[in-house]
Amino acid sequence: MTDTSMSSPAHSTSKGTGANLSKIALRWGLYLILGLFALYYLMPLFVMLTTSLKSLEEIRTGSLMALPREVTFDAWATAWSGACTGIQCEGLRPYFWNSVLIAIPAVALSTLLGALNGYVIAHWKFKGANLIFSLMLFGCFIPFQVVLLPMARVLGLMGLAGSIPGLIFVHVIYGLGFTTLFFRNYYVTIPAELTKAAKVDGASFLRIFRSIFLPLSLPIIVVTVIWQFTQIWNDFLFGVSFSQAGTQPITVALNNIVNSTTGVKEYNVDMAAAIIAGLPTLFVYVVAGKYFIRGLTAGSVKG
């Protein structure tokens, strides 16, 4: 705020220190509000963390926001390897690995296909390419409820019902629209002359992709990988619809732990489990926040 309210110098000297004081007060007010909102956004994370470190006894007798009197990691151990999701009591660990097994191939495949598609649509225009792009783009916005029923049947016909390859397949298919969009929007900024010159020199379609486009693609690959990873790791709808006992992703397991009706409610275990489920995407956000935000905004403000 290089000041706007008192831009004429003559004006400000005549008012003197009174104006200066109100300026300082405004600044403090601004920081106070920003700080309060920071607390608001941090509060649930703080509550999750402190609750996960308390014993059940302390949770029942203490206050929501209080720091743990005695720090215990029992809840974390239970959440990781002992909490019950229905009848099984193996904690989140197997489901964490399910999510990893789903996310890695699905992210890799959808990113690779998106890069090739974007390359074709941006630099090898043929009749109908724009229509294809539009159709793919519209596909990003459908509510997935509209494909759940037929997809369940088709996965059954393909012999992939309730399996991890089935979930990988689903995530690749419905991630294609966005990954193609990301790469297409990035590749249109690369001059067409470059492709033309390479063609004149006799370079092939794949050669140009490998030697010219791929080396330039690191930033958009990072954006796409982060976007896809966050989407797939956090997915619940496909996970709950197309998995069965043993192949569920972590979000489904977390929900089962929290909402399992048997036994005593272990809030500390619930909170530890929620943090474990959120850690991978939080880690990505903290490490590569810039690319994360770019992906988010690329999905909405295009071009």
Partner 1 sequence: MSDWLENHLPKVVLAPSFIAILIFVYGFIGWTAWVSFTRSKLLPRYELKGTVQYEKLFASPRWDTAMDNLFIFGTLFIVIAMVLGLMLAIFLDQEVRTEGVIRTIYLYPMALSMIVTGTAWKWILNPGLGLEAMIKGWGFESFTFDWLVNPDYAIYTVVIAGVWQSSGFVMALFLAGLRSVDGEIIKAAQVDGIPTWRIYTAIIIPSMAPIFLSAFIVLAHLAIKSFDLVIALTGGGPGYATDLPATYMYAMAFSRGDIGQAASSAMIMMGVVFTIVVPYLYSELRAKND
Q: Which of residues 224-253 bind partner 1 (CB under 8 A)?
A: 230, 233-237, 240-241, 251
Minimum CB distance to partner 1, residue 107 (Å)? 16
129 contacts partner 1 (rule: CB under 8 A): yes
Minimum CB distance to partner 1, residue 87 (Å)? 18
Among 28, 73, 97, 144, binds partner 1 (CB under 8 A): 144
Residue 162 φ then ψ, to 5°: 65, 15
Say how many CA atoms lie within 13 Å of 207 toward its Cβ. Answer: 11
Among 13, 22, 134, 189, binds partner 1 (CB under 8 A): 134
72 contacts partner 1 (rule: CB under 8 A): no
135 contacts partner 1 (rule: CB under 8 A): yes
Mark the segment that binds partner 1 (CB under 8 A) among 77-85, 87-95, 109-117, 210-218. 109-117
Q: Which residues does 179 contact at the CB level (< 8 Å), separation at least 6?
A: 110, 111, 113, 114, 115, 117, 118, 224, 227, 228
Residue 297 φ then ψ, to 5°: -75, -30
Which is closer to partner 1, CB of 73 or CB of 124? Answer: 124
Minimum CB distance to partner 1, residue 187 (Å)? 13
67 DSSP 8-state letter: P
Q: Is the Cβ–Cβ distance between 114 and 224 less than 8 Å?
A: yes
301 DSSP 8-state letter: S
Residue 3 φ then ψ, to 5°: -60, 140
Which is closer to partner 1, CB of 81 or CB of 204? Answer: 204
65 contacts partner 1 (rule: CB under 8 A): yes
Is the sign of the CA dihedral 273, 276, 282, 284 positive or negative? negative
7 contacts partner 1 (rule: CB under 8 A): yes
Q: What's the 3-state SS for 177-219?
A: HHHHHHHHHHHCCCCHHHHHHHHHCCCCHHHHHHHHHHHHCHH
- Structure token pair of residue 88: 């099984």
102 contacts partner 1 (rule: CB under 8 A): no
Among 15, 20, 28, 31, binds partner 1 (CB under 8 A): 31
Q: Is the Cβ–Cβ distance between 252 and 243 less than 8 Å?
A: yes
Q: Which of residues 166-205 bind partner 1 (CB under 8 A)?
A: 173-174, 176-177, 180, 204-205
Among 17, 57, 126, 159, binds partner 1 (CB under 8 A): 126
Which is closer to partner 1, CB of 59 or CB of 221? Answer: 59
255 contacts partner 1 (rule: CB under 8 A): yes
Q: Which of residues 267-296 bind partner 1 (CB under 8 A)?
A: 267, 270-271, 273-275, 277-278, 281-282, 284-286, 289, 292-293, 296
